[in-house]
Amino acid sequence: MISQDRIQAILDRLVEYTDGGATCALPMRWFSRALEQTSLLGGLAEGAVEIGVRGGGLSAMFCEIAKLEAPLQFKVMSVDPWGGAPYFAPSPAYQFVYDEAWYVKAKAVLAGYENSILFCMTAESFVTSVLPSFRWWHKGIEHPGHKRFLSFAYLDGCHENTFVMQEALGVLPYMLPGAVLAVDNADYCIEAVTMLSASRRYKLECFENGGDPHRAAFTFTL
């Protein structure tokens, strides 16, 4: 697991690409924990996904941790349409516009990471078109279990229940046992978070969120 000092050092380096350091420390810990859990359960963690990327700071933080703690082939997939795409949030107070300037910022910071892949598209397109057709090679061999390769998913795109549910149900079939599914702004999409917690198909066990109602994270078991 990543140490607090290491988290702080990464935050200090990348904070200008985020909306503030405090909001990133917890997802960084979750990500590190997900890598540890999936590897303890024998899974070959090869990827993580952040949906809703904005300025790229958090994806870059995941890239930093992956370089320290994940296998060489591990990729951080960052999904966002940018370009001022309609952004669905439960209240007009949260209806921001994320335009090309944010894309430029994200591209600039993530260009420095060989383990980053940008998907300039909506989460809906990513989960319905990209994930089902994804093929993955390692040392010249197509990963036989490529259906399950994600150790971590962080949902921070549109915050309405239907979007969050579609994203969660879209990524779960690709997640390894022990993987972590995290939902930002969980208090905006309580219905989706409650439905996920109650799911019998996916055993999702809620865990430590530092007492922050804004965020939820689940460990996923098959």
Q: 127-166 mask for ligand SAM (x: CB under 6 A)?
A: -----------------------------xxx--------
Nearer to ligand SAM, 44 or 49 (CB): 49
In sequence order, the β-bridge partners of residue 62 are none
Kind of pairing, strands 141-142 and 150-155?
unpaired
- Which listed range, 120-128, 142-150, 203-211, 214-222, lies at the site for ligand SAM (CB under 6 A)? 120-128
Toward ligand SAM, which CB reaches closer, 43 or 52? 52
Q: How far is the CB of 192 from ligand SAM (least distance, A)?
A: 15
Token match 């320290």: residue?
Answer: 68
Binding part of the chain for ligand SAM, among 6-14, 62-70, 117-125, 212-220 by CB under 6 A, reads: 117-125
Q: Is 98 in the site for ligand SAM (CB under 6 A)?
A: yes
Shortest Å distance, C-beta 51 to ligand SAM: 5
* CA atoms within 13 A of residue 109's CA, in its CB half-sphere: 24
Q: Nearest approach, Cβ of 10 to ligand SAM (angstroms)?
A: 14
Tokens matching residue 41: 């359960």
- Is 170 a binding residue for ligand SAM by CB under 6 A? The answer is no
18 binds ligand SAM (CB under 6 A): yes
Candidate segments 31-39, 63-71, 116-124, 133-141, binder of ligand SAM by CB under 6 A: 116-124
Residue 116 near ligand SAM by CB under 6 A: no
Tell me if 57 sits within 8 A of 161, measured CB to CB: no
- DSSP bridge pairs for 183: 155, 216
Q: How far is the CB of 157 from ligand SAM (least distance, A)?
A: 3
Phi, psi of 148 (to 5 degrees): -120, 105
Interacting positions 31-90 with ligand SAM (CB under 6 A): 51-55, 57-58, 79-82, 85, 87
Angle formed by the axes of helices 4-14 and 57-69, to 10°? 140
The whole-angstrom separation of Cα 4 and Cα 204 is 26
User: What one-character-per-residue DSSP string does 121-138 give?
Assistant: S-HHHIIIIIHHH---EE
Paired strand residues for 47: 75, 150
* Alpha-carbon span 104 to 117, nearest angstrom: 15
Return residues touching ligand SAM (CB under 6 A): 18-19, 51-55, 57-58, 79-82, 85, 87, 98, 102, 122-124, 156-158
